[in-house]
């Protein structure tokens, strides 16, 4: 599972920082999460192929999280895209994007499919044989969702050495990989677990930005491998965080601790601070395994 941070700063773009956007590679899916201004440039900078992105998940309709989307959609048209592009986001995103396409007389020449969300409860919004994606309702100034990405359990891996020792014919290997037992010519049944290895443990990633501190959030993301949680402010600006419905680094760490996550990634920093290291220092007093997102940074989990 690989996370590439294209932008992770709050509010406005600057010469050295970008608003929220990231690419998650999970079980052979390349997924774009939020699409602030500058996303296209950063995708090119990191040599991420536009054509491999088939699913885009937008958390909410504040500009620093989706103003890059109209441009991205238009560029895909210019590049001759033909396959479907799915956009998941709050109700209203379809109207916002299609109005721009209409006024510019630049309808896409590929299927552009919107999946508008309005439920205040968690819901499954995408699923195939490899992954599932569910919403994580967040508490911000407007309707906002985080997203929980989870791998499906893969097939068991054939233990060729064990299969050979049992004298199992190669014709049965595919059935074994599919989880089936094998009956030998003498009638003996070899249970699947004796000739296979367990598949890798499925990985999970929770994206939570933007939100005020919410104790109940921990139950919704229990035991995830990686949690990205906004940390717009430090505790010294707690009053401002509460007023604007954002979180502090310490509050993000509390969520990570209570959810028993393996790794916490902080982001969505206010640019008022001299160093983002201050966020890690604060969060580390509550939760030990803290990483700092930064524009252009790639994490492998």
Q: Is 29 annotated as a binding residue?
A: no
User: Nearest 10 degrees: CA dihedral of 294, 295, 300, 301?
Assistant: 50
Catalytic entry in 34, 64, 181, 295: 64
Active site residue 169: no
Rg of the chain over Cα atoms, rounded to whole angstroms, equals 22
Instruction: Tell me if 229 is assigned to a ligand binding site.
Output: no
Q: What is the DSSP letter of 246?
A: -
Contact 227, 262 (CB under 8 A): no
246 marked as binding residue: no
Q: Judge whether 86 is annotated as a binding position.
A: no
55 is in an annotated binding site: no
H or E segment and range at residue 280: helix 277-283
Nearby residues of 267 by Cβ (< 8 Å), 6 or more positions away? 5, 8, 20, 209, 228, 229, 230, 231, 292, 293
Answer yes or no: are the C-beta atoms of 73 and 35 closer than 8 Å: no
Instruction: Catalogue the active-site residues.
Output: 64
Annotated binding site for Zn(2+): 60, 62, 64-65, 140, 210, 268
Q: Which residues are annotated as a binding site?
A: 60, 62, 64-65, 140, 210, 268
């Amino acid at each position: 599972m690989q996370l590439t941070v294209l932008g992770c700063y709050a509010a406005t773009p600057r010469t050295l920082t970008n608003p929220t956007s990231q690419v998650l590679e999970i079980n052979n899916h390349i997924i774009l999460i939020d699409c602030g201004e500058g996303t296209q440039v950063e995708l090119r900078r990191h040599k991420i192929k536009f054509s491999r992105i088939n699913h885009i998940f937008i958390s909410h309709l504040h500009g620093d999280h989706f103003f890059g989307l109209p441009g991205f959609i238009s560029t895909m048209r210019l590049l001759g895209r033909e396959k479907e592009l799915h956009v998941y986001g709050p109700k209203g995103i379809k109207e916002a994007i299609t109005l721009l396409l209409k006024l510019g007389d630049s309808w896409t020449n590929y299927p552009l499919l919107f999946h508008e969300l309005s439920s205040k409860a968690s819901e499954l919004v995408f699923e195939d044989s490899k992954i599932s994606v569910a919403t994580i309702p967040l508490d911000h100034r407007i309707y906002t969702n985080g997203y929980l990405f989870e791998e499906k359990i893969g097939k068991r891996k054939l233990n060729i050495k064990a299969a050979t020792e049992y004298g199992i014919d190669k014709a049965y290997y595919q059935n074994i990989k599919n989880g089936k037992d094998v009956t030998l010519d003498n009638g003996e049944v070899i249970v699947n677990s004796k000739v296979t290895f367990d598949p890798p443990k499925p990985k999970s990633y929770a994206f939570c930005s933007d939100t005020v501190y919410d104790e109940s959030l921990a139950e919704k993301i229990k035991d995830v491998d990686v949690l990205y949680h906004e940390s717009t402010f430090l505790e010294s600006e707690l009053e401002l965080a509460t007023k604007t419905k954002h979180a502090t680094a310490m509050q993000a760490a509390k969520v990570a601790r209570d959810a028993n996550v393996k790794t916490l990634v902080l982001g969505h920093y206010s640019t008022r601070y001299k160093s983002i290291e201050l966020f890690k220092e604060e969060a580390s007093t509550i939760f030990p395994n803290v990483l700092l997102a930064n524009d252009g940074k790639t994490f492998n989990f």
